[in-house]
Structure 1
Amino acid sequence: MLAVTMLFWAGNSIAGRALADEAAPIALAFWRWVLALVLVTPVAWPHLKRDRAELRRRWRMILALAVTGVGAFGALLYVGLQYTTALNSILMQAAIPPLVMLFAWLALRERTTRGQLAGVLLSLLGVLVVISRGRPWALLEVELNGGDALVFTGVVLYAVYSLLLRRRPDVHPLSLLWATFTAAAILLAPAYALEMASGRQMPPTPAVLLGLGYVAVFPSFLAYLFFNRGVELIGSARASQFLHLQPVFGAVLAVLLLGETFHLFHAAGVALIFSGIGLAAWAQRRVSRRPPGSP
């Protein structure tokens, strides 16, 4: 289930890029969550009756989760994919686990070793290589692709969302999904209205309807159900390791389905990102094996 979830999430960027010339990005984000909400409501309804008091009490946290990891991330991803490649966006999303570790160290003062921090910095260097297309001096000359900047902003927000999940309301996972999907759709509605007023439309062509159906059913409804069940079965630590499959699946799909080219700077970025992930994981294992009280 977890491996299939990563395949679905990788396909989200593929669909967003494939629809870039046809579908308005905010409309795609809005209707994605509206349709996902329709799908999740029947299975979440029995739990909502029990959890509604807690959801009402923790509405600020639900709003924060909806803004960072649901509404804003999806919208920024789809808008960014109007100007950059699916391959770039997928590789940048590989930086989410290291960013979560970095933010946990900065905001929560969680114990982090030098090896883990070095791994984070190595992964971020890989992201910068991808963003600058192998030309780091572009970072100083402000020659970056605007789409890459939007996607990376979404990646940072999703890392914040992952951190906020540690303080999520004590409710059933389906109740939380229903609440965040609802809040995301409400938050995106004004932006959707402005997009329509500007003349951007999402014509109901077969390609658009097929793409919308995909992003609503697979990376939204089914992926969250599968991921929640996977975490329940094997734990969050082991489940999080499957996130590293997403850029692998995504790179293959981008080349095969969209005809995108895998450049040398992509290879360098991948090598740095996964080296950083490996270094951080190795450092974490060393810490977990130390006897209590050891430095």
Structure 2
Amino acid sequence: MTQSLERLTRRTESMNSIRGIVHTMKTLSVINAAPYDHAARAIEAYHDTVLTGFQAFLHHYPLDARDTPVVRRVLIVFGSDHGLCGNYNEALAAHVAQAVQDWPEGPLTLLCVGAQMEDALTDQGMTPKETLFPPASVDGIGRLSNLLTQRLDDIRHAAHPGDISVSLAYFTRDGGAGQVPDIKSLLPLDSELLRVLSATPWVSRTLPSFTMAAEDMLMALIREHLFASMFRAAAEALVTENAARMSLMQQAEQSIDDRLEGLTGQMRAVRQDDITTELLDVIVGFEALKKGKRRKKTKAD
């Protein structure tokens, strides 16, 4: 159905307005991701300091991975509540549901970050014990990580005298391929990590000492290890969320550009048809005038 030039003009103006909004959202995604990326890199430096503390501790007290039975497994899933990032939550929830099927049987405590992630997990038949709000700024990452650390302390105390395992599920960057879902195990401590730290020579002549009880020092190091890891996961989740949103906005922008190109072509065709029609009207009118003059001249003769 041929559309009028006026209607095509209105549609083109609307498309241009939508494109401006999409472009703004794409730009905001890039801007918002930058501080979270900086926070992720900053916490990595802090985590290296914590691991250095582990190294010093292990030189005083060699430690193997504990054989304490795990009485409860804890899984923390980092999702998004901001929307416009496609199937971000659904894809991670499906990955978590698939991975949990291969875990040993036993009680599982599921902690969730984001109400939309809670819905996605529920659709997969998994009910979180508690749902926390995702951070709205870089400052919120630290508050969320502290809150999660406190929750883990409460769960660990409730599991006494057994032990707990802790895993994190979140989207992580995958180079130029975008982002991929990942599940990272934090507790029990990785035996390979302990072996490497124990075997690595100390960088100076003097080995650091400490006055705290060995058990208290170990628990403090583990707590900081958990905090840094959860901080890193929360920051990485926010970076990948904005990356997913930016990718969708790029696709939407390209789709709008294709649509605008089509509308522009239609407008040119309609304008050409209007010009052709007007020219034909002029020619027909001119021919009619010529015929009228000829008739008058014939009658006069």
TM-score (norm 2): 0.22
Give the strand-richer structure, 1 or 2.
2
TM-score (norm 1): 0.22
Indicate the structure whose relative CO is greater, using CA pairs within 8 Å and at least 6 residues apart.
Answer: 1
Determine which structure has more spread, i.e. the larger CA radius of gyration. Answer: 2
